[in-house]
Amino acid sequence: MADKKTFKSGFVAIIGRPNVGKSTVLNRLVGEKVAIVTQKPETTRNKIQGILTRDDAQVVFIDTPGIHKPTNLLGKQITQVAKDVLIEVDLIVFILDVTKGITSEDMIIFNLVKAAKKPAILLINKIDLRSKSLALPLIEEGARLYDFRDIIPTSAANGDNMDALLKKVIEYLPEGPKYFPDSQFTDKTEQFMVGEMIREKALELTHEEVPHSVAVLIEEFTERPKKLVYIRAVIYVERHSQKKILVGHKGQMLKSIGESARRDIQKFLNRHAYLELWVKVHENWRKDPNALKMLGYA
Ligand SMILES: Nc1nc2c(ncn2[C@@H]2O[C@H](COP(=O)(O)OP(=O)(O)OP(=O)(O)O)[C@@H](O)[C@H]2O)c(=O)[nH]1
Ligand SMILES: [Mg+2]
Whether the pTM exceeds 0.95: the reply is yes
Sketch the domain layout of the chain as residue ranges.
Answer: 2-172, 190-294
CA–CA distance, 78 with 242 (Å, rounded to integer): 23
27 CB under 6 A from ligand 1? no
Supply the pLDDT for residue 3: 53
The residue to mutate among 26, 27, 37, having the most atoms of ligand 1 within 8 angstroms of its beta carbon, is: 37
Cross-strand pairs, 12: 61, 91
CATH fourth-level superfamily of 2-172: P-loop containing nucleotide triphosphate hydrolases (3.40.50.300)
Across the chain, where does the E strand assignment appear?
Answer: 8-16, 48-53, 57-63, 91-97, 120-125, 150-153, 215-224, 228-237, 272-281
User: Above 80 in pLDDT, residue 41?
Assistant: yes
Render pLDDT for 148-183 as a digit per residue (tens, 0 to 9). 999 999 999 999 999 999 999 999 999 999 999 999
Q: Which CATH class is domain 190-294?
A: alpha beta
Which segment of 3-17, 142-156, 198-212, 271-285 scores lowest on mean pLDDT? 3-17
DSSP conformational letter for 99: T
DSSP 244-255: HHHH-GGGHHHH
Distance CA 33, CA 27 (A): 5
pLDDT on residue 132? 82
- Whole-angstrom Cα Rg for the chain: 20
Ligand 1 center to residue 37 CA distance, Å?
7
Nearest CA to ligand 1 atom 6: 21
Cβ neighbours of residue 248 closer than 8 Å, sequence gap 6 or more: 254, 255, 256
